[in-house]
Each structure stands twice: as C-alpha cells, then as structure tokens.
Copies of this chain bind each other. A is one copy, B any other.
Amino acid sequence: MDRDDYLKRLRRIEGQVRGLQRMVETDEYCVDILTQIASVTKALQGVGLGLLDEHFRHCVMEAAKADGSEGDAKVHEAMAAVERLLRT
C-alpha cells in the first residue's frame, strides 16, 4: 500500500470536513454545503476503492494461491465490504 498517498488524501478529507464545519457556522447556503458533502463522500469512496483494489491484489490473491478455500473466504469477506460501501 502506498501509505503516504492514502494519508495525504485522508488529511485533505479531514480539512474538507473542517471546511464543512465552517460552512455550517457561517450559515452558508444549504445546497452549497450539500455539494461539498457529496464531494467529501466521493473522496472517501475513492480511498475505499483504492484500498479494495490493493486488498484484492495482495491479501486476497496471496490467500488464494496458498489455499483455494481460504481465497474464497477472503473474497466473500471483501465482497461484504463492497456491499457496505454500496449500501451507504
């Protein structure tokens, strides 16, 4: 995992969440706040998709090469994570 890249993105997201607090404090227009919320959500999902991609390429694949049934279990586990992302 390129940990530094993920950290940089998460720090930017933290800054965006603080920006949302300022928008609420200064009574900015609701629709502008909603647009910003959609943008933060998209950034978070981008991090999630990146992590998933790596998770499949490393953990899941390694498990699958070592042991087929362990690989299947890892895929099911990862798919449950996809479903949680999808259901939000």
Residues of A in contact with B (beta carbons under 8 Å apart): 1, 3, 6-7, 10-11, 13-14, 17-18, 20-21, 24-25, 27, 30-31, 33-35, 37-38, 40-42, 44-45, 47-49, 51-57, 59-61, 64-65, 68, 71-72, 75-79, 81-88
Compute how far the CA of A52 lies from the CA of B20 in the bound complex, rounded to whole angstroms: 15
Q: Give the residues in chain B near A35, CB-CB below 8 Å.
A: 81, 84
Interface SS of chain A: helix
Q: Given A14-B18, A57-B75, A82-B52, A44 and B44 touching (CB < 8 A)?
A: yes
* Copies of this protein chain in the complex: 4
The 5 listed contacts between A and B (C-beta, < 8 Å) are A34-B81, A38-B85, A42-B88, A44-B44, A53-B79
